[in-house]
Chain A
Amino acid sequence: MRWYIPYGNPTYFLWLGLALIPLMIGLLYGHRFRGYQTLISLLFLVLTFGGPNWKTGISLIGYLIYQVLLVAAYSHYRQPKGSANRGWVFVLAVILAIVPLVIVKITPAVEGGRQSIIGFLGISYITFKVVQTIMETRDGMIKTFHPVLFGQFLLFFPTISSGPIDRYRRFLADYQKVPEQAAYLDMVQKGVRYIFQGFVYKFILAYFFGSILMPQIEMQAILAHGLSWSIVGYMYVYSMDLFFDFAGYSLFAVGISYLMGIKTPMNFNQPFKSKNIKDFWNRWHMTLSFWFRDYIFMRLVFFCMKHKIFKSRTTTANVCYVINMLIMGFWHGETWFYITYGLYHGFAMVINDAWLRFKKKHQAVIPHNKLTEALAIFITFNVVCFSFLIFSGFLNTLFFAPKPF
């Protein structure tokens, strides 16, 4: 028996392909073999969370039971007609939902890098799904709760380790129906294309940047002792590796979902073509960024406006940008570089908005043409790459970590 990181090597894809064939034939002829789908989902979860990783498997099961009970309890409180809708119950539910994730994130920071025993691969992404479900239940958008369907949604194996983060109602609609034959064939075609694009991204380009270029340039930067051009080189190489690795992974997850007749949302849309930071966050790790937009930023803005905390709308938006991105920074991990990365993007958003307002006011004098667009892309690209340099933690290794010799 072998154990696999999802999409880690060719054999994983071989098993995946074989396992999907019966399901795909069913979908092609108008049936979704739900029992079979559950069976192979469990099989692939065991491949990831079994064997040497069995402890994380136990954590996953415990976590799942906890979250299903929590959402069931909140749904029971909130869903009946004319039910109460107290703020503190909702806040309590959200806090309880994120407590495991908070423990997992804080443990390494206070325990000298040791991982929490309740952690497992993909805990953040499942937590996002849970919180989203609780919020939409409060809003009255989710009207029924079905523990098995909810479990299927949380454990949907193609996306379990790193997203994309789907939404409950969208997932359920796909899961409960079978696409028309022609539509399904279109999905299969797209899915296959995504998977092969993922191969190019992850196994060729990310390998080139991450495994060939990066070690060399890392060594040069370390040997240079202090500031050097190699750090700039590292910045670009790391950014490319980060993108192709993660986008490649996301393409696999989306591609496999499509083969299963589920339209998991896309995660990346040519992010390096962005003309400004806002544009960037609409193209980079989209399901995460939209999740933060919908469930943190928007809620914060509404909260501030309702309670009239700030006079001007601009101030409200600015404060919320920074808080939003700061929380994203904390979510990445409790280190100075993740938190700085969050703050950096928060302030980048603020500056970006200020510039756009200024530009709108002075439309007559500020030129807008192909050249300025190219300049905008160039600046945005470099601002983003610099943020990834912070994010990479390499500056930490370079300047603050103890030297091996």
Chain B
Amino acid sequence: MIKKRLFQIFGPIFAAALLMLVVFLSPLWARFNDVSSEVQNNAASSLSPLVLKGGLVKRVAMDDHYVGFFGSSEWSRFDPFHPSVLAAKYHRSYRPFLLGARGSQSLTHFFVMQSVNAQLKNRKAVFFISPQWFTPKGEDPNAFSFYYSPLQTTTWIESETGTKMDRYAAYRLLQMPSGSSDKVIAAALARIAAGLQPTAFQRAYVGFRHRILTNEDQIYARFRIPSTNAAKIRREARQLPRRYQYDNLNRLAGKIGQQQTTSNSFGINNQFWNKRLKKHVARLGNFQQGQSYLKSPEYGDFELVLNQFARDHTKVLFIIPPVNQKWQRYTGLSARMLRQFDQKIQYQLRSQGFNHIDDLSQDGGIPYFMSDTIHPGWRGWLKMDRAIKPFLTKSVKKPHYHIDQRFYAREWDNEQLFNDDDGYYSR
């Protein structure tokens, strides 16, 4: 009698728990791979953290004709000359898959890459390096948490082999609160960082978590992808002429830029100016004096990204943007320091064989090049297109990368030995 009642009460709960385990552990979901082209299109410009943290949608899109555009807040500055708009309007053979938004830096991108390693193998990518990432503190733990994906972490742990790259990634992840959000995974990370293999139990646990997280991604990833940016791209494209002719477009970029920067003398777009700067501008004079992008843990994190690209033999175009020159002068940001930053980052790239670099760092004074203080707009996007278009539409020689572990060292993070005249220094 008691048994029967108890079974009636608790039976359904156990059945539900069992059913949930069966559903989320089932290997069948791996076949559930269809992502409609509309969803791919929306996802490619959504800039949504869900897309960044997931796997399926990116994989399917990048197996199609999408190319990963790694970066951060600049991607959200949609205007008619934004790479996504140009690619759509002029029916290019590629479409940008925008990866990253405000606060996503190298460490986030290293983990994002784990979800698309197969899609990066021997293919192309574009990587936008923001000098503003390279602050003395480096990646902000809160921003990192916002984009932290347990799925990408388990994917990486399953494939790690104890290389310097893996050990460094584990060490950095443990410095973020996200790294300790799961106790067992944190313990596994500590072992990896110390150069040990995770224990058998940790491996089993990571495998179990990985299966569930993968299935969740397979089941839910397609849904709730915002389409507002895709619509914005369609709207912006209408302002462009039918034919792609650089000089024409450059003139148009200047015209639109002029129309949209009437409120201030910095060449900053009206919306940004009125909403974000106008009220504070008086206080901001010389506020960036002494700011340096030369000493930062970000250099080591950036090496993680380079190391992963090298492993995947990805052909990468790196873009180094300028800072709005008028703003830079007004806020007292050192031009010398920016030049040194450019040299330091170029050294890290070129000395390891990453030779496709679109260096725009000296263009911050060109009118209507920047949309606001640090983000390119109209003419800036267009000039970038001069590098992006040939890189992605023509064949590029197989790269020869040689990773130098020195770039993981703290000495490199703190290296400041660059001066204006020598060009690249060598030890």
Contacts and interface: CB of A to CB of B under 8 A. Distances in A.
Interface in B4-28: 5-6, 8-10, 13
Interface in A165-205: 181, 185, 188-189, 192, 196
B5 A185 contact: yes
Contacts of A188: 9
Contacts of B2: 28, 181, 185
A405 B279 CA distance: 8
A28 B2 CA distance: 9
A279 to B, nearest CB: 33
A58 B227 CA distance: 50
Given A28-B2, A181-B2, A189 B276 contact: no
A78 B275 CA distance: 65
Contacts of A196: 13
A266 to B, nearest CB: 20
B183 to A, nearest CB: 9
Given A28-B2, A181-B2, A405 B9 contact: no
A181 B279 CA distance: 71
B275 A405 contact: yes
Contacts of B6: 185
Contacts of A181: 2
Contacts of B9: 185, 188-189, 192
A190 to B, nearest CB: 10
Given A28-B2, A181-B2, A185-B5, A192 B275 contact: no
A188 B276 CA distance: 57
Nearest to B13: A192
A200 to B, nearest CB: 12
B10 to A, nearest CB: 7
A67 B6 CA distance: 41
A28 B13 CA distance: 19
A181 B276 CA distance: 67
Interface residues of B, number: 10
Contacts of B275: 405
B67 to A, nearest CB: 30
Contacts of B276: 405
Interface string B324-337: 00000000000000
Interface residues of A, number: 8
Nearest to A189: B9
Nearest to A190: B9
Nearest to B276: A405
Contacts of A189: 5, 8-9
Interface in B237-290: 275-276, 279
B91 to A, nearest CB: 33
B181 to A, nearest CB: 11
Interface centre among B5, B10, B275, B276, by most A CB within 10 Å?
Answer: B5
Nearest to B5: A185
A196 B275 CA distance: 46
A212 to B, nearest CB: 8
A388 to B, nearest CB: 26
Contacts of A28: 2
Contacts of B13: 192, 196
Contacts of B10: 192
Contacts of A192: 9-10, 13
A269 to B, nearest CB: 23
Contacts of B5: 185, 189
A39 B10 CA distance: 25
A189 B12 CA distance: 12
B340 to A, nearest CB: 32
A188 B11 CA distance: 13
Interface in A357-405: 405
A277 B2 CA distance: 44
A37 B8 CA distance: 26
A196 B5 CA distance: 18
A264 B192 CA distance: 51
A31 to B, nearest CB: 15
A185 B6 CA distance: 8
A405 B2 CA distance: 64
B8 to A, nearest CB: 8
A387 B375 CA distance: 44
Interface string A28-44: 10000000000000000
Nearest to A2: B183
A145 B5 CA distance: 39
B15 to A, nearest CB: 13
A185 B4 CA distance: 11
A379 B300 CA distance: 63
A9 to B, nearest CB: 12
A96 B279 CA distance: 49
Nearest to B274: A405
Interface in B203-217: none
Contacts of A185: 2, 5-6, 9
A189 B9 CA distance: 6
A188 B9 CA distance: 8
A188 B8 CA distance: 11
A184 to B, nearest CB: 10
Nearest to A29: B2
A265 B132 CA distance: 57
B271 to A, nearest CB: 11
Contacts of B8: 189
Q: Please indicate which of the listed interface residues B9, B275, B276 has the most CB atoms of chain A within 10 Å of its own CB.
A: B9
Interface string A12-33: 0000000000000000100000
A251 B279 CA distance: 49
Contacts of A405: 275-276, 279
A405 B273 CA distance: 11
Interface of A: 28, 181, 185, 188-189, 192, 196, 405
Given A192-B9, A405-B276, 9 more contacts: A185-B2, A185-B5, A185-B9, A189-B5, A189-B8, A192-B10, A196-B13, A405-B275, A405-B279
Interface of B: 2, 5-6, 8-10, 13, 275-276, 279
Closest 7 CB pairs of A and B: A185-B5, A189-B9, A405-B276, A192-B9, A405-B275, A188-B9, A28-B2
17 contacts: A28-B2, A181-B2, A185-B2, A185-B5, A185-B6, A185-B9, A188-B9, A189-B5, A189-B8, A189-B9, A192-B9, A192-B10, A192-B13, A196-B13, A405-B275, A405-B276, A405-B279
